[in-house]
Structure 1
Amino acid sequence: MEATSVALPPKRHYPILDGLRGVAAIIVVTFHTLEVYSHGDHAKQILNHGYLAVDFFFLLSGFVVAYAYDDRWSRMTLAGFAKRRLIRLQPMVVMGSIIGAIFFYFQSGPTFPLVAGTPVWKLLLVMLIGCTLIPLPVSMDIRGWQEMHPLDGPAWSLFFEYVANILYALVLRKISNRWLSLLVLLAAGFLLQLALTAPSGDVIGGWSITATQLHIGFARLLYPFLAGVLLMRLDWRINVRSGFAVCSVLLALALCLPRAGSPQHVWENGLYDALCILIVFPLIVAAGAGSAESGGWLQRLSKFLGDLSYPLYITHYPLIYMQTAWVIQKHPTFEQSVVVDVLLIVVAISIAYASLKLYDEPVRRWLSAKFA
């Protein structure tokens, strides 16, 4: 029988890891902003490996969830765990779906032919379902990209985040490090198989309720999340000087390096993806967890980026839909593109910060006081 939940004292954060989440979120927004100019050719993407930020997020999540809850189960029920995770994640899921609905009809045109024909009642239905994070089947697509969350594309990774949290609460918290290590090895093989055999030569995908996309999504989720849990339990840390700066540079390099290999050998880029997820990202997290805070302006920047990261990630993509439609339909000049792209990033950060301060933090405080 589960123990009764009691008030749990807060634990200290890992400020460098929080900051790295923010660095990755900024790179994701930039990656998505530049993605339209590749015209669907992954090899021509400017920040070529920005998609790996999602795999880094899953690794961080496994580490942080295990750190926050592994030693609390004698005082916490499954319901208590679920409430805490919902309070942390769900308010911004709702906001992302609402923002997606607000901007939806501004994306109408040849790029998204389904938008103009979508009635308001169906848009509102999709928005409400999006607020619950229940994935939509392809038959309910209202955009044409077959996304499980067509108003807020990146919410697919939050769906898998919830799957991982359920897996942790029901199974992972109970098993020994030996069995967890075995699962990590099996998940590594699963990921490596995807990376080396994907026709696109990368691990991009996971956002649709189809067999292929679910295969990609689970392959991308399982190794990093499991490895994050194991990394925390083994207490493996690396202490480096100027930890936030060093880890940020390493992460940015991993996410921004050009495409690996050649069109004739796409598996070479898949191997790069696998090496980043299997080895490089755990090393960065170990260094971020084991290094002392930098202090001064770097510490303040790290906190700001950490606070901003989740709201930025979950609210920016409706702007990307509009920018994608504009670029494809209007064929802007380089100068026009630069102005719009910079403005998009500034507006995305502004929306995220306003959502954080005016909505997310107050709502989470209220929910925590009332339910947690």
Structure 2
Amino acid sequence: MKSHYHVLDGLRGTAAFSVFTFHILEMLVPSLELNPMPHTFLAVDFFFALSGFILGHAYDARMCDGGRLAPSGFFMRRLIRLHPMVLVAMVVGVLGYLFDPFAGNAQRIGPALSPGMLLLTFCLSLLLLPAPTLPNYFGETHPVNGPSWTLLQEYIANVLYALFASRLGRKPHIVLCCASALALLWTAKRFGNLGYGWGWDHYWVAPVRLACPFLLGLLVYRMKLRIALPHPYAVLSLALVAVFAAPVFRAYNWLYEAVCVIVVFPCILMAGAGADQGEDGRGWLARLAGELSYPVYIVHYPFIYIFAHWNWSTHPSRPVLAAAGVGMYCGVTLFALALSRWYDRPLRAWLARVCLAREAEPTRFSPQSAS
């Protein structure tokens, strides 16, 4: 049985809750320079790096060097891991759009959408495919649930891993890392930051943001690069939050964000992988954060829109606004925990029994596998 990297799982949770916080602040403080966490969209790049590392850890031995796991078996495992939460997130997203009581009072953005186009958008979203944008939203390629654009990139990474990366040699791997890092640097320089890839006008940025961190994360695993730190989950969580909360560096902001992805995040992976869970007294917190990371990330955004429309249309006082924000944060967290315990885990376990029963190799299934 493979060991489990609970610190890395916990760091995914730290990143997911940081994204949740950032999206709330983004609706209250539209200016990126005034946002207390202006670089938090880099959590997406950290997720991609984690995916590269965890896929290598979970599947390299089973798919490389005569491993018995075929690509079809790999794809089935990944669908079982990821798609149950995708389905419920899209249902939450479309219900939030249809029954948002404050959207009619908010400033309309974009043309009205016919019922037929809304149904098409929802069906495409269930498959994680780009879809027509929705009125009162911000032109996302995945408007039913904005963050799901990153899940499509995860699926692309999984396909490329199964077909090519699982057998990628060391030298071409390093060459690809260097080439993708240069592409990332060029992209960051062009825009001034890396907070793109989610909208139709800049969707080409999404695979650029995927390639470099994913390949680097896979390389960190394969080269067995490790760093030992005391209290790794607490220290590395603080490091992540510090990356996200650093000020905007104006002319050099693009360089800061690119260096975070190319250098800082791989180092955080090394330290998280080098952690001895037996010595980490906060192991339970890392495990809980890891369990909540995926459901919190994938279901929170529809509630952000309702919160924003309520704020923009009713103009509440600051104490009321703060109380509503805290209440939403806690409520979505509890909702995510309920989904994990009573929907996602049981459904994935059942699907694993049904869909993988005929395979000779036992299913090594973990609730906190890679997102």
Regarding TM over 0.5, the answer is yes
1:319 paired residue among 300, 303, 309 = 303
2:364 match: none
2:194 match: 203
1:249 match: 238
Contact kept in structure 1, 2:106 and 2:136, CA below 8 Å: no
2:12 match: 21
Contact kept in structure 2, 1:135 and 1:149, CA below 8 Å: yes
1:113 aligns with 2:97: no
2:353 match: 369
1:60 aligns with 2:50: yes
Sort the Cα spacing of 1:273 and 1:114 in 2 relative to 1 into closer, same or farther, 3 A: closer
Note the aligned Cα RMSD (angstroms).
1.8
1:44 match: 34
Q: Distance in 2 between matches of 1:121 and 1:298?
A: 50
Larger deviation: 276-285 or 105-114? 105-114
Q: Distance in 2 between matches of 1:121 and 1:307?
A: 36
Q: 3-state SS of the aligned residue for 1:308?
A: helix
1:298 match: 282
TM-score using structure 1 length = 0.90
1:127 paired residue among 122, 125, 142 = 122
Shift of 1:24: 0.7
Q: Deviations over 1:51-90 (max 9, x none)?
A: 1110100000000001111110221111101000100000
Write the letter of the residue equivalent to 2:306: M
2:365 match: none
Q: Deviations over 1:208-253 (max 9, x none)?
A: 344x322x11121110000011110000000111111111111111
Shift of 1:168: 0.9
Contact kept in structure 2, 1:92 and 1:311, CA below 8 Å: yes
Contact kept in structure 1, 2:225 and 2:270, CA below 8 Å: yes
Shift of 1:116: 9.8
2:148 match: 155
Shift of 1:91: 0.5
Counting aligned pairs with the same residue, the percent is 36
1:340 match: 324
2:368 match: none
1:235 aligns with 2:228: no
Q: Distance in 2 between matches of 1:330 and 1:273?
A: 36
Q: 3-state SS of the aligned residue for 1:71?
A: helix
Q: 3-state SS of the aligned residue for 2:282?
A: helix
1:188 match: 181
Write the letter of the residue equivalent to 2:125: G
Q: 3-state SS of the aligned residue for 2:229?
A: coil
Q: Distance in 1 between matches of 2:304 and 2:175?
A: 40
1:31 aligns with 2:16: no
Q: Deviations over 1:91-115 (max 9, x none)?
A: 0010110001111130522546369
Sort the Cα spacing of 1:117 and 1:286 in 2 relative to 1 into closer, same or farther, 3 A: same
Shift of 1:339: 0.7
1:287 paired residue among 262, 271, 281 = 271
Count of matched residue positions in the alignment of Structure 1 and Structure 2: 351
Sort the Cα spacing of 1:251 and 1:78 in 2 relative to 1 into closer, same or farther, 3 A: same
1:76 match: 69
Q: Deviations over 1:172-200 (max 9, x none)?
A: 112201100000000000000111221xx
Write the letter of the residue equivalent to 2:161: Y
Write the letter of the residue equivalent to 2:26: E
Write the letter of the residue equivalent to 1:202: N
1:276 paired residue among 260, 266, 278 = 260
Q: Distance in 2 between matches of 1:58 and 1:183?
A: 15
1:169 match: 162
2:293 match: 309
TM superposition outliers: structure 1 runs of 4+ over 3 Å: 114-125, 140-144, 294-297
Q: Deviations over 1:272-312 (max 9, x none)?
A: 11111111111111000012126575111110000110010
Shift of 1:128: 2.7
Sort the Cα spacing of 1:110 and 1:323 in 2 relative to 1 into closer, same or farther, 3 A: same
Unaligned runs of 5+ in 2: 357-371
Shift of 1:123: 3.3
Larger deviation: 282-291 or 251-260? 251-260
Shift of 1:119: 4.7
Sort the Cα spacing of 1:274 and 1:63 in 2 relative to 1 into closer, same or farther, 3 A: same
Larger deviation: 20-29 or 286-295? 286-295
Q: Distance in 2 between matches of 1:350 and 1:115?
A: 33
Shift of 1:344: 1.2
Sort the Cα spacing of 1:170 and 1:209 in 2 relative to 1 into closer, same or farther, 3 A: farther
Write the letter of the residue equivalent to 2:249: A
Q: Deviations over 1:151-187 (max 9, x none)?
A: 1000000011111111111111122011000000000
Contact kept in structure 2, 1:101 and 1:124, CA below 8 Å: no
1:7 match: none
Q: Distance in 1 between matches of 2:14 and 2:2?
A: 23
Sort the Cα spacing of 1:144 and 1:339 in 2 relative to 1 into closer, same or farther, 3 A: closer
Q: Distance in 1 between matches of 2:290 and 2:261?
A: 21
Contact kept in structure 2, 1:19 and 1:301, CA below 8 Å: yes
Q: Deviations over 1:107-134 (max 9, x none)?
A: 5225463699445554343223212112
